[in-house]
Chains A and B, each alone.
Chain A
Amino acid sequence: MTDAMPTRRTALALGAAAILAAGPARAQAGRVARIGLVQSTTGGSAALYGTEQKQAIELAFDEINAANTLNGIRLQALHADDGADRSQTVNIFQRLIRQDKVVAILGPTLSNSAFAADPIAQAAGIPVIASSNTAPNLTRIGDFVFRTSVPEDQVFPTVLRYAVQKHGVKRVALIYGLDDALTRGAHDVQKKAVADLGLEQTGIESYQRGDVDFSAQLTKIKARKPDALILGTLAEEAASILRQARQLGFDDKVVFVGCNANISAKLFELAGPAANGIIVGAAWFAGYDSPRSRAFVEAYRKRYGSTPDIYAAQGYDAAYLLAEAIRRAGGADSGRAIRDKLAGITDFEGVLGRFGWSAERDATVTPKVLVGDGQARVFVTAPGA
């Protein structure tokens, strides 16, 4: 990892120790805004997304504190790792809200954790901004729940329409992860989009987390001769599927259409040239050409030595949105005031582009249709999108 890691870890540990020493009685209303940062940094694949978000949010907080734009209020992140275990997320929310007296929470990493933990924040009047929860209906938990992660149903229909227009797709097959809320949620949206566009659906296959052999499912799909295979999968699974489909001799004309989670440098690393031509839709990608986005990618690379993924970008925007709400509220004493100011933000220029909230407090941004370039190992804007 980077050289900065040990020192930051020590700093965090010291911070945590200071909080413990100060105890729950600490009634400091002053000029520090304590923000819970609940991201999984252990616990399987969730740790990948969690770590990206944690790093991006800590980067944003440091930038904001250095620029001192909040009338002297400093943002202090209290990170807690839930190990991608929902019970622990609930434990953490209770402790952060009731003992550490945070005024807002950024997270949690997984949608399932959010369904269990967000109601605690809702009841306590503490705003929550998620940056990787894509499950449908998440914000129905209550009016303190926001997200900068763009749900699949805002993106996928556009992507599928592009595949139909550009490649004349008529018959499609679908494959998805049965036991993962993220992939299952993506699949539901994809299935609906296929029906809405009146495409012929020739088969649905699934697999379970940890599976790396997809050849049985792919052989079955291949025999049905679809024009396109739609992936409701994580990036590493998409990579295996792309490779194995080539190995099994899929027709070159078969179009692969992916979901949000596939937009990762990992896809190219694992799939290599097999990722050539995969079509995905995203709220953001590392090559997105705007001043704000370029500056973010550069700062992130400089600090962590790697290219940020979409979850990092969504986390970064979540941090800035929260800071903006705190600035407008003129203080960090009331979760209710921060929530109201947050809900009122309509003109935010973020890394994701021009940003606003839907009536349901979901992010609204224009989806971008992207195509994988297996040689250069990046996503580029789809031609004619």
Chain B
Amino acid sequence: MTDFYYAYENVIDLCLLNSVLALGCLLLLSVNLLSLATGGLMAIGAYLSIWLTMSQGWPFAPALAAATLAAALASAGLGALVLRLRGDYFAMATLAFTEVVRIVALNWDGVTGGALGVFGIPKYTETWHLAGLLGLVLYIVWAVRHSAIGDRMRAVAEDELAVTASGHDVARLKLAIFTASGAVAGLGGGLAAHLNMFVAPGDFGFLRSVDAVVAPVLGGVGNLFGAVIGATALTVLPEALRFSAQLREILVGGVILLAVLFLPAGLTSIPRALARRMAA
């Protein structure tokens, strides 16, 4: 086991980190919001935390707290502007946000080093930090889902107008969820920045945001562990398929496509589907 951990430490770290980010997106998906802001919010958390630890001599924990807070604030500001947009317009606006942040990062040499990135970042992030955070976020999402707020979220997903008509402030609920999800992304960004000693603006673009939102869809939105399983699958697949060399992209795409087409409730529904087959 320790040998295995030793050889695959980074893969494990990435699975945990991506699971946390995917849970942030899952929260939003459960009120019908498909956000592509994850990359931009991560970038804010990552660059702020690096600047604090490397230039200002802050210890890791307060730097992470600042990263979380900054991303939450940015998220609240963005949310106040774009949450009234519907469906794909909301997705596009959040994508535009992520791209604008990336381009500002590319041009803001003093803090980000531009495309050359920042290197020599101290490696503070440990596997247990990520595991602990995942446990915490899982618990919070579970608690929220099983509370009155969770009921209201399900109602919003069902029929937003009806919830508004019943006198509830849907806008405030959405803003709260978007802000919480932003905080998770900012914290994830800070942890990611201190994981591999190097960051560059390309780490936080369109693809990053897409992966974070594909994970819960792939795993299954109806299940709390869907996000974790989806993120793990997306992280491990390229490693597991490395033997296939050039065919790897085709195989990864094929696996995702098959899963979406044949597992309506995501990867988490595999055991149930198998059980049904056994019974039949």
Footprint of B on A, CB under 8 Å?
9, 13, 16, 24, 41-42, 80-81, 83, 85-88, 90-91, 94-95, 98-99, 112, 115-116, 119, 135-137, 140-141, 177-181, 183-185, 188
Interchain CB contact under 8 A, B14 and A9: no
Interchain CB contact under 8 A, B115 and A181: yes
Partner of B7, one of A95, A137, A181: A95
17 further contact pairs, Cβ within 8 A, besides A42-B246, A115-B198, A181-B117: A24-B7, A42-B249, A80-B242, A86-B198, A87-B14, A91-B10, A91-B11, A95-B7, A99-B3, A99-B7, A135-B116, A137-B119, A179-B115, A180-B115, A183-B115, A184-B116, A188-B116
A351 to chain B, nearest CB (A): 27
Partner of B8, one of A16, A81, A95, A137: A95
Chain B residue numbers with a CB within 8 Å of A177 are: 115
Chain A residue numbers with a CB within 8 Å of B11 are: 91, 94
Interchain CB contact under 8 A, B243 and A83: no
Interchain CB contact under 8 A, B198 and A88: no
A276 to chain B, nearest CB (A): 30
Chain B residue numbers with a CB within 8 Å of A183 are: 115
Closest 10 CB pairs of A and B: A99-B7, A184-B115, A115-B198, A115-B119, A116-B196, A116-B198, A98-B7, A90-B10, A98-B6, A91-B10
**Shortest Cβ distance from A176 into B: residue:** B115
Interchain CB contact under 8 A, A94 and B8: yes
Interchain CB contact under 8 A, B248 and A87: no
In the assembly, what is the distance between CA of A254 and CA of B198, in Å? 39
Number of A-B contacts (CB under 8 A): 86
In the assembly, what is the distance between CA of A183 and CA of B106, in Å? 13
Binds A, one of B38-46, B200-208, B219-227: B200-208
**Shortest Cβ distance from B9 into A: residue:** A94
**Shortest Cβ distance from A177 into B: residue:** B115
Tell me which residues from 209 to 247 in chain B have a Cβ below 8 Å from any Cβ of chain A: 238-239, 242-243, 245-246
Interface size classification for chain B: 20 to 34
Partner of B238, one of A16, A83, A94, A179: A83
| Complex A-B: 19 CB contacts under 8 Å | A41-B245, A41-B246, A81-B242, A85-B238, A87-B196, A88-B239, A91-B11, A91-B239, A94-B6, A94-B9, A94-B11, A99-B6, A112-B202, A135-B116, A137-B119, A141-B119, A177-B115, A179-B106, A180-B115
A209 to chain B, nearest CB (A): 9
Tell me which residues from 125 to 165 in chain B have a Cβ below 8 Å from any Cβ of chain A: none
A96 to chain B, nearest CB (A): 9
Interface centre among A90, A91, A99 (most CB of B within 10 A): A91
With A24-B7, A98-B7 already in contact, the answer to whether A178 and B249 are too (CB < 8 A) is: no
Chain B residue numbers with a CB within 8 Å of A87 are: 10, 14, 196
Interface centre among A42, A179, A183 (most CB of B within 10 A): A179
**Shortest Cβ distance from A117 into B: residue:** B196
Partner of A83, one of B9, B201, B203, B248: B248
A365 to chain B, nearest CB (A): 24
Chain A residue numbers with a CB within 8 Å of B171 are: none
Chain B residue numbers with a CB within 8 Å of A88 are: 238-239
A45 to chain B, nearest CB (A): 13
Chain A residue numbers with a CB within 8 Å of B238 are: 83, 85, 88
Interface centre among A9, A41, A184 (most CB of B within 10 A): A184
**Shortest Cβ distance from A24 into B: residue:** B3
Partner of B243, one of A13, A24, A98: A13
B85 within 8 A of A: no
Chain A residue numbers with a CB within 8 Å of B117 are: 112, 115, 181
Tell me which residues from 75 to 128 in chain B have a Cβ below 8 Å from any Cβ of chain A: 106-107, 114-117, 119-120, 123
With A13-B243, A95-B7, A119-B197 already in contact, the answer to whether A185 and B116 are too (CB < 8 A) is: yes
In the assembly, what is the distance between CA of A269 and CA of B8, in Å? 43
**Shortest Cβ distance from B7 into A: residue:** A99
In the assembly, what is the distance between CA of A135 and CA of B198, in Å? 13
A273 to chain B, nearest CB (A): 32
**Shortest Cβ distance from A136 into B: residue:** B116
Partner of A116, one of B106, B107, B116, B197: B197
In the assembly, what is the distance between CA of A119 and CA of B120, in Å? 9
Interchain CB contact under 8 A, A42 and B10: no
In the assembly, what is the distance between CA of A275 and CA of B120, in Å? 39
In the assembly, what is the distance between CA of A112 and CA of B8, in Å? 21
Interface centre among B107, B201, B245 (most CB of A within 10 A): B245
With A86-B203, A181-B117 already in contact, the answer to whether A91 and B249 are too (CB < 8 A) is: no
In the assembly, what is the distance between CA of A164 and CA of B116, in Å? 29
In the assembly, what is the distance between CA of A99 and CA of B242, in Å? 16
B20 to chain A, nearest CB (A): 15
A59 to chain B, nearest CB (A): 18
